[in-house]
C-alpha cells in the first residue's frame, strides 16, 4: 500500500500566488483566495500540510492542467506522513 503523501501548505499557497491568486479574507477554518480580475474564489483549509488528493483538487480548480499538477507534486511532496 502506498504511503500517505502530504504537501506543505506554504508550497500550495506559493503556487497559487505565482498564478495570480491573492488572499482575500479568512474565516475560522479557511482562507479565501481571489483570482485577480475575476470573480473566482478558492477556499484553502487552514492546515500545515494537505493530502495529495486535496492538493490535486485545489490546483485543478485554480486552473492548472494535469501535467502542471504532476510537476508541482513531484517538486513539493513530502512522504514522511507528518502533517
Q: How far apart are CA 22 and CA 17, in angstroms?
A: 6
What global pTM score does this model have?
0.86
Q: C-alpha cell of 72?
A: 508541482
**pLDDT at residue number 76:** 87
Q: How far apart are CA 16 and CA 25, in angstroms?
A: 15
pLDDT at 33 over 70: yes
In the chain the domains, ranked by start, together with CATH numbers, are: 6-76 (3.30.920.30)
CB neighbour list of residue 32: distance below 8 Å, 6 or more residues apart: 23, 24, 25, 26, 41, 42, 43, 44
- Residue 44 · residue 10 · CB < 8 Å: no
Q: How far apart are CA 54 and CA 47, in angstroms?
A: 12
pLDDT at 80 over 60: no
Amino acid at each position: 500500500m502506498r504511503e500517505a503523501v502530504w504537501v506543505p501548505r506554504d508550497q500550495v499557497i506559493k503556487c497559487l500566488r505565482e498564478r495570480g491568486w491573492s488572499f482575500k479574507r479568512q474565516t475560522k477554518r479557511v482562507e479565501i483566495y481571489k483570482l485577480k480580475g475575476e470573480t473566482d474564489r478558492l477556499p484553502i483549509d487552514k492546515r500545515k500540510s494537505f493530502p495529495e488528493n486535496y492538493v490535486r483538487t485545489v490546483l485543478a480548480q485554480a486552473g492548472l492542467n494535469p501535467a502542471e499538477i504532476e510537476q508541482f507534486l513531484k517538486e513539493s511532496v513530502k512522504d514522511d506522513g507528518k502533517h
